[in-house]
């Protein structure tokens, strides 16, 4: 137990606000640099008929990169370096508990359609995080999906991604 | 006088069963959206916008603006009963609202905040009625340089009033960058698509809003391990009546809050600043200022009046100039373009029905909104008691559907997810999100007005100082842009430490 606790502390310690701030600043610098590179390809100066297509993007990218550099160095050398952990492992696990199922949900939607995937996602989440009993899980998840189906496919006539189950019913 | 006639005309448009129904649906959805974590004004409007594509624009704007009003009203419910400010502009409401609720005066606090909201909104709508046509009329003479100057002023004021100028600039430039993805409006060249066919039509701002404000918010809420521990709400006709009898005493606070709200609403991101400013001033001038923070009625009245007033006033520049004063107004503006309306001063001439219908609906919907919130608080408080493990996945599903329906593309859902993660990190690092949305919505128009202006002058930047109007706006913009730097210099020379 003790060991586990220590482990958590070291794990959290490297991911300080300062570290994340610097990583994000570096990423922003790269985004800016990419924008500038793409703008150079299409021309950043003047054509006979006015500014070229890359005129604006190049300047946007440049401001972005410069600001990224400022944030990076401010986080590195600045007076108010924030060494507090960006997120503790305990609460990060909670974030992952939403994020990972959500990614899976989006992935699965492509194959079995959004209605079945939603029922599975809501049900799985309720069971795993909320520890609801199976009856509640099944009722809520299936009822939500059917309601969404009624609302979008029948009321608003907006087709959403569907899979094999819906085609079984002729949709 | 002509304005009054127009207003009556607006009422005649709004007073149909269909539009009144849309109003009620919008208000209820808005309160719903405002109460739930992870759904707020901008996000709620963004999710529902695709469903209005086929509706008449006036009905659509009535419904969507009502979602906005509903969510503004609802901010107070979570602040007072649960001590959780749904949005940053209701933070100040928790200072006195929650202590009042703990003392068993929740009904009083809720009544006061809703009534204050109502007054703030009414004041702003009156201002819009009489001022917006004037502003629009004035702006009719604008050419590309003037429009660019107005955009510049808007963006500069974000930098000047934001907490961290560099982070505001980054957020804004990312918005511009996102707006540039896809085909260039002027030359037709592809920009920032990197051979990716999905990027050809660009990144839709609705998807970005849903990701940043919806999914990002869910991740934040999850991390905080939200447990709603609410105070009981006792609100009935008697409490409402007794609170109303007390309110006239605070007419000064109401008036001050309304003026602050209306004034700050003009400027982007004003609601939060307005609510704090109003709270601060009320505290300063109040006879009971020692009681502020411990459950003072005035302390609820002041911030809510200003916040709602500023939310309403944010529609003035949106209608008259095509410049939204808040994130939600930015989404509404995007809606105008989708419905095929050209935002800007011409709206007041070409789309009279639309503009005056909207203004008339603002009068009506705030009255109806007041009645609805006062009578349905217990219902909405009950929604907050539904466990987060049920609410969270349902909100994610609703967000995913909302992103998909923007243009029926699976790609959108992935974009939403990406921006959810970006929103989470940005929020934790205090990057402001509103400038990003505003730049994304206005990016194309800003760029086109810049390019047209400079085309007209054959490349001379002096076109932006060619007459007193455009010159003054540009100068004001530069002043605001460098305001943080000026403040830094002044702070250093006088030895005053900066906060």
* pLDDT tens-place string over residues B90-135: 888 888 888 888 888 888 888 989 999 999 999 999 999 988 888 8
Residues B229, B82: contact at Cβ < 8 Å?
Answer: yes
- Percentage of chain B beyond pLDDT 90 is 21
**Number of H helices and number of E strands within chain B?**
23, 2
Burial of B125 (0-12, 13-18, 19+ CB in 10 A): buried
pLDDT at B497 over 80: no
First-to-last alpha carbon distance for chain A, in angstroms, is 54
Question: Predicted confidence band at B175 (pLDDT cuts at 50, 70, 90)?
Answer: very high
Residues 90-109 of A with CB under 8 A from B: 91-92, 94-95, 97-99, 101-103, 105-106, 109
Retrieve residue B174's tokens: 């990312």
Measure the CA–CA gap between A122 and A114, rounded to whole angstroms. Answer: 12
Model confidence over B1-15: pLDDT tens digits?
Answer: 678 888 888 888 888
Q: How many CB pairs under 8 A join A and B?
A: 160
Residues B272, B266: contact at Cβ < 8 Å?
Answer: no
pLDDT at A7 over 50: no
Retrieve residue B69's tokens: 């009003």
Kindly report the average pLDDT of chain A as a whole number. 86
Residue A138 dihedral angles phi and psi, to the nearest 5°: -65, -45
Residue B344 dihedral angles phi and psi, to the nearest 5°: 135, 180
For residue A113, the cross-strand partners are A162
pLDDT of residue A72: 94
Residue A23 touches chain B, beta carbons under 8 Å: no
Q: Closest Cα partner for B416 from B218, B196, B223?
A: B218
Model confidence over A68-77: pLDDT tens digits?
Answer: 999 999 998 8
Model confidence over A28-67: pLDDT tens digits?
Answer: 999 999 999 999 988 888 777 778 888 889 999 999 999 9
Write down the domain spans for chain A: 2-83, 95-168
Measure the CA–CA gap between B115 and B120, rounded to whole angstroms. Answer: 9
Judge: A121–B408 Cβ closer than 8 Å, yes or no: no
CA B349 to chain centre: 25
Q: Closest Cα partner for A145 from A119, A113, A108, A106?
A: A119
pLDDT at B306 over 80: yes
Judge: A35–B177 Cβ closer than 8 Å, yes or no: yes
pLDDT of residue B227: 61
pLDDT of residue A13: 56
pLDDT of residue B234: 67
Residues 134-163 of A with CB under 8 A from B: 140, 144, 148, 152, 156, 158-161
Q: Which residue has the tokens 């990224």?
A: A68
Residues 26-55 of A with CB under 8 A from B: 28, 31-32, 34-35, 38-39, 42, 46, 49-55
Q: Which chain B residues contact residue A32 at CB under 8 A?
A: 173
Judge: B459–A52 Cβ closer than 8 Å, yes or no: no
Measure the CA–CA gap between B287 and A76, rounded to whole angstroms. Answer: 48
pLDDT of residue A147: 92
Kindly report the average pLDDT of chain B as a whole number. 85
Judge: A126–B390 Cβ closer than 8 Å, yes or no: yes
Q: Which chain B residues contact residue A87 at CB under 8 A?
A: 223, 428
pLDDT of residue A105: 95
Model confidence over B231-250: pLDDT tens digits?
Answer: 666 677 778 888 888 888 88
User: Which range has highest mean pLDDT (B90-94, B107-111, B155-159, B486-490)?
Assistant: B107-111
pLDDT at B453 over 70: yes
Retrieve residue B375's tokens: 């009578």
Model confidence over B321-359: pLDDT tens digits?
Answer: 888 877 888 889 888 888 888 888 888 888 888 999 999
pLDDT of residue A90: 82
* Strand B182-183 with B190-191, pairing: antiparallel
User: Mutating which of B211, B393, B430, B463 best tests the A interface, going by the most A Cβ atoms within 10 A?
Assistant: B393
Model confidence over B417-438: pLDDT tens digits?
Answer: 999 999 999 989 989 888 898 8
Judge: A74–B166 Cβ closer than 8 Å, yes or no: yes
User: E-assigned strands of B313-460?
Assistant: none
ipTM attached to this prediction: 0.89
- Mean pLDDT within B458-480: 86
Measure the CA–CA gap between B217 and B38, rounded to whole angstroms. Answer: 5
Q: Is the dihedral of CA B311, B313, B316, B321 positive or negative?
A: negative
> A71 to chain B nearest CA, in Å?
7
Residues B434, B269: contact at Cβ < 8 Å?
Answer: yes
Residues A101, A118: contact at Cβ < 8 Å?
Answer: no
Residue count (chain A): 171
Model confidence over B249-273: pLDDT tens digits?
Answer: 888 888 888 888 888 877 665 677 7
Measure the CA–CA gap between A60 and B73, rounded to whole angstroms. Answer: 38
- Mean pLDDT within B361-380: 88
Residue A60 touches chain B, beta carbons under 8 Å: yes
Question: Predicted confidence band at B40 (pLDDT cuts at 50, 70, 90)?
Answer: confident
Measure the CA–CA gap between B324 and B331, rounded to whole angstroms. Answer: 8
Q: How many CB atoms lie within 10 A of CB A167?
A: 10
3-state secondary structure of B13: helix
């Amino acid at each position: 137990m003790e060991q586990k606790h220590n482990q958590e502390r070291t794990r959290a310690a490297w991911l300080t606000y300062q570290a994340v701030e610097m990583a994000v600043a570096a990423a922003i610098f790269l985004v800016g640099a990419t924008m500038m590179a793409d703008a150079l390809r299409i021309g950043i100066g003047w054509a006979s008929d006015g500014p070229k297509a890359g005129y604006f993007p190049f300047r946007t990218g440049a401001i972005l990169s410069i600001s990224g550099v400022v944030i990076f160095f401010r986080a590195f050398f600045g007076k108010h370096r924030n060494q507090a952990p960006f997120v503790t492992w305990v609460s990060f696990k909670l974030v992952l508990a939403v994020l990972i199922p959500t990614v899976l949900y989006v992935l699965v939607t492509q194959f079995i359609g959004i209605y079945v995937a939603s029922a599975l996602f809501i049900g799985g989440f309720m069971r795993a995080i909320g520890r609801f009993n199976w009856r509640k899980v099944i009722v809520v998840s299936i009822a939500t999906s059917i309601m969404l189906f009624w609302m979008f496919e029948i009321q608003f006539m907006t087709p959403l991604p569907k899979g094999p189950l819906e085609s079984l019913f002729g949709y | 006088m002509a304005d009054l006639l127009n207003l009556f005309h607006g009422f005649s448009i709004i007073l149909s069963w269909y539009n009144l129904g849309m109003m009620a649906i919008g208000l209820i959805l808005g309160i719903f959206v405002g109460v739930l974590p992870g759904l707020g004004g901008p996000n709620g409007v963004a999710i529902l916008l695709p469903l209005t594509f086929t509706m008449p624009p006036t009905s659509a704007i009535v419904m969507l603006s009502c979602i906005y009003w509903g969510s503004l009203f609802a901010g107070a419910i979570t602040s007072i009963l649960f001590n959780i400010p749904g949005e940053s502009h209701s933070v100040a409401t928790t200072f006195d609202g929650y202590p009042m609720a703990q003392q068993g005066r929740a009904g009083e606090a809720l009544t006061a905040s809703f009534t204050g909201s109502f007054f703030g909104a009414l004041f702003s709508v009156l201002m819009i009625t009489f001022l917006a046509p004037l502003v629009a009329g004035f702006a009719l003479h604008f050419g590309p340089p003037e429009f660019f100057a107005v955009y510049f002023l808007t963006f500069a004021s974000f930098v000047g009033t934001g907490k961290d100028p560099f982070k505001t600039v980054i957020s804004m430039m990312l918005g511009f960058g996102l707006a540039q993805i896809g085909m260039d409006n002027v030359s037709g060249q592809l920009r920032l698509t990197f051979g990716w066919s999905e990027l050809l039509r660009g990144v839709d701002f609705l998807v970005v809003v849903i990701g940043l404000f919806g999914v990002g918010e869910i991740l934040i809420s999850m991390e905080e391990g939200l447990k709603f521990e609410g105070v009981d709400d006792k609100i009935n006709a008697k409490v409402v009546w007794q609170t109303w009898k007390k309110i006239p005493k605070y007419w000064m606070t109401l008036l001050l809050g309304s003026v602050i709200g209306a004034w700050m609403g003009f400027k982007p991101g004003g609601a939060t600043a307005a609510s704090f400013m109003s709270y601060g001033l009320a505290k300063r001038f109040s006879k009971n200022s020692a009681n502020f923070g411990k459950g003072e009625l005035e302390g609820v009245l002041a911030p809510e009046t200003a916040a709602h007033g500023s939310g309403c006033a944010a529609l003035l520049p949106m209608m008259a100039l095509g410049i939204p004063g808040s994130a939600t107004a930015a989404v509404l503006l995007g809606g105008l373009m989708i419905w095929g309306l050209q935002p800007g001063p011409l709206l007041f001439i070409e789309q009279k029905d639309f503009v005056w219908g909207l203004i008339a609906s603002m009068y009506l919907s705030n009255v109806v909104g007041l009645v609805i919130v006062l009578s349905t608080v217990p219902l909405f408080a009950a929604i907050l008691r539904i466990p987060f493990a049920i609410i969270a996945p349902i909100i994610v599903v609703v967000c995913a559907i909302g992103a998909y329906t923007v243009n029926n593309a699976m790609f959108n859902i992935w974009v939403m997810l990406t921006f959810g993660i970006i929103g989470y990190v940005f929020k934790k690092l205090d990057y402001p999100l509103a400038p990003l949305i505003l730049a994304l919505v206005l990016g194309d128009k800003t760029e086109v007005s810049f390019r047209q202006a400079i085309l007209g002058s054959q490349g001379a930047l002096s076109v932006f100082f060619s007459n007193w109007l455009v010159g003054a706006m540009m100068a004001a913009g530069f002043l605001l842009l460098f305001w943080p730097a000026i403040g830094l210099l002044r702070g250093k020379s006088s030895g005053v430490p900066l906060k």
